[in-house]
Each structure stands twice: as C-alpha cells, then as structure tokens.
Structure 1
Amino acid sequence: MQTRCALVGMPGSGKSTVGRHLARRQGLPFVDMDQRLEERLGCSIRSYFDQHGEAAFRDHESALLAELADQPGPMVLSTGGGIVLRADNRAALRRGFAHVMYLRASPEDIFRRLRHDRTRPLLQVADPLERLRELYRTRDPLYRETAHYVIETGRPTVNTLVNMVLMQLEMTPGP
C-alpha cells in the first residue's frame, strides 16, 4: 500500500514511535518533523525555544511542513504536537496527506508517559499535568478538525496501535 500518512496528536501520544513502526511495516520512508527540525536548527527544540521563542520555532515548523506536504511520493510523517496551531498547517496536512491520523491520548495518560521527560519545552512548568490539560483543551478540537481519523491510544502496545492505523488505512484507500 503506497500512501501518504501524517500522524498528529499531543506531545507524548506516540506519533514518532508509531510512525517509525508503521513506516517500517509498510516499507515507506519515515519523516519525524521534530528530528528534521533539530537537524536544520543545529540544536534541540528545547534549546531553540529558550533562545528564540515559540513563534520563531513555529515559523520553521510551518516552512518544513509546507515543503513536506508538496513533496511527491509516499511517506509516513510524524508531526510535532503544536503543528495544528496554525490554520495554514492544518490546510497543508489535509492537502498533502491522504490520511491524517490523530493519535488521541488523555492528558493523564500523557503525563504518565512523560513525567520524567525533561526535553519537552512546553512541559517544563510547575504543574505539567495542568499544562497538558490546557494544551489538550486548546488542541483537541484542532486535531479533530485536521484529522481524517481519530485513533484512541489509551494503553495499547505500539504494535496494537500500528495495527489499528493499518486497519484504518486498509478500510479507506486514498487517491
């Protein structure tokens, strides 16, 4: 199955891990936007945030997404958690990818996964769970608006999530 699939969702929802496994299973190229951005910026996203602020980072993120959306050929794309904050990005995802999957996880599940992670700039606050709840309230409607499908992540294994995404892809062939 040759397709263009993008994964969206909150930080820690499993986009990179599921995307990597999905691409391997389908024999498709995998692009992790956060990793690609760090390569281009020459530093970690957290460091870039600290030095230049979120708006400057989002500009780089939007430019990369526009490039990837217009790039021909099959791929599995793992986006950053905040990619849906800009309307142009939501449009680029819908335009450039036949399948946009929202890996939905509750703030509580994400907190359990990320509570010891010090690399995520938006969670370096006094109350990361409350911050995740705020991000979820803002972003969930945007993920839903952007995605063709919502995959509930809950607590299944990576393999189970990959199978769920593959099942959805098989039930709804793209162009």
Structure 2
Amino acid sequence: MKLKKTVVMVGMMGAGKTAVGRAVAAKLGVPFLDSDAEIVDAANMSIAEIFARDGEAFFREKETQVIDRLLEEQVGILSTGGGAFLAERNRDLISAKGVSVWLNAELDLLWERVRHKDTRPLLRTADPLATLTEIYNARVPVYSLADLSVPASEELSIEEMADRVLSVLTTRADVLEV
C-alpha cells in the first residue's frame, strides 16, 4: 500500500488519535507526526503552560502554523489536538493538503479512557464528566465534517482500530493506493 497524502487523525481526547495513528503509520511504513508534540518541543513547555503564559489564541495560531508545515513537509499520519479541527482554517488546510479521519468514539468510552488521567487541562473542573459531556456535544457536529469516519469500540484493540482506519482509507484511491 502506498500513502499518497497525509492522513490527519481528528476526534475527542481519548479517542485514540495518537495510539491508533502510530499503529497506522507503522502498518504503512510512513512517519507518525503529532502537532501537539511539535508545539511542545518548539516552545519547550507543556500545552497547559503555553495556555497559561500566552493564552489559547496564541496556541491556536501556532497550532495552525505547525499543522500547515507538517502537511507540507512529508506524507504520513498526523495526530492533532482535540481542538485543532474546530477551526475552519485548519479544516480547510487539512482538506486541501490531506484527508481527515474522525475516530468516532462514544462519550462513555471516552470517559472510561480519560477519567483517571490528570493530563487533560480541560477536564480540571469540579465536574469533569459534565465538562467532557459539554465538550463532546459541542464538538461532535464539527468532527462529523471530517472526510472519513471510523467508529471506535471498547472491544477493539489499537491494532484492530488501525485496521479499521486502513480499511476506510482504501475507499479513497486519492489517499491510499492498494
């Protein structure tokens, strides 16, 4: 199989964008890229620290720049932060230079995956489940604009999800040559 354009993994925190993205990249023998990791490396601070020091608007501007650069540099699998796809300019960039794949996980599965982690700044609230529910309800209509959708399930391993992504990608000859 030959990947013709970058596949951009989008979806909620806990959907598996990084884990599944890495597995898909390994199966295709292409680079795995992570826009959040690139931003953290460039700034030499965590995303939470960037938000605290420079604000969300600054972070989102850098995020767009990084996504644009990564889409230009090489063909691979790109994992983005959960909020990246919400910006129309990012969706336009991704659509023009790659293909978006929504890892569509139900709320209960996402909660199961993120509830014991303290690495999610958006969930540091008095009622993290209510916060996650609010974010989920706001974002799902935007994620549904993705070029392709892959339903997630708690029974599926990372490898099985990666196989599902590959199966969906084969429906697009402009993306994956079989």
Place the TM-score, normalised by the shorter chain, in its bin: over 0.9
- 2:130, 2:97 → 1: CA distance? 33
Tell me the CA shift for residue 21 of structure 1.
Answer: 0.8
Q: Deviations over 1:19-40 (max 9, x none)?
A: 1111011000110111111101
SS of the residue 1:171 aligns to? coil
Q: For 2:124 and 2:55, how far apart are their aligned partners in 1?
A: 14
Whether 1:52 aligns to 2:54 is yes
Q: How does 1:1-175 map to 2 (within 5 A)?
A: 1-3=2-4, 4-71=6-73, 73-97=74-98, 99-145=99-145, 147-155=146-154, 156-174=156-174
How far is the alpha carbon of 1:169 from its aligned partner?
1.4
How far did 1:69 drift?
2.7
CA distance in 1, matches of 2:72, 2:108: 36
3-state SS in 1 of match to 2:66: helix
Aligned length: 172
RMSD over aligned Cα atoms: 1.3
Q: Distance in 1 between matches of 2:82 and 2:132?
A: 11
Q: Read off the aligned partner of 1:153 and give its amino acid letter.
A: A
Q: Give the deviation of 1:171 after TM superposition.
A: 2.4
Structure 1: gaps (5+ residues): none
* TM-score normalized by the length of structure 2: 0.91
Q: How far off its partner does 1:149 sit?
A: 1.1
Q: Which amino acid is the alignment partner of residue 165 of structure 2? A: V
Query: Matched residues in 2 for 1:121 and 1:59: separation?
Result: 19
Q: Distance in 2 between matches of 1:41 and 1:54?
A: 14
Supply the AA of the counterpart residue of 2:93.
A
CA distance in 1, matches of 2:153, 2:48: 27
| Residue 168 (structure 1) shift | 1.0
CA distance in 1, matches of 2:3, 2:86: 28
TM-score normalized by the length of structure 1:
0.92
Alpha-carbon offset, residue 63 of structure 1: 1.2
- Which consecutive residues of structure 2, in runs of 5 or more, have no partner in the other structure? none
Deviation at 1:114, TM superposition (A): 0.8
State, as a whole percentage, how many aligned pairs show the same letter. Answer: 34
Checking the alignment, whether the CA contact within 8 Å between 1:7 and 1:15 is kept in structure 2 is: yes
SS at match of 2:144: helix
Measure the CA separation in 1 of the matches of 2:105 and 2:169.
20
Q: CA deviation at 1:49?
A: 1.7
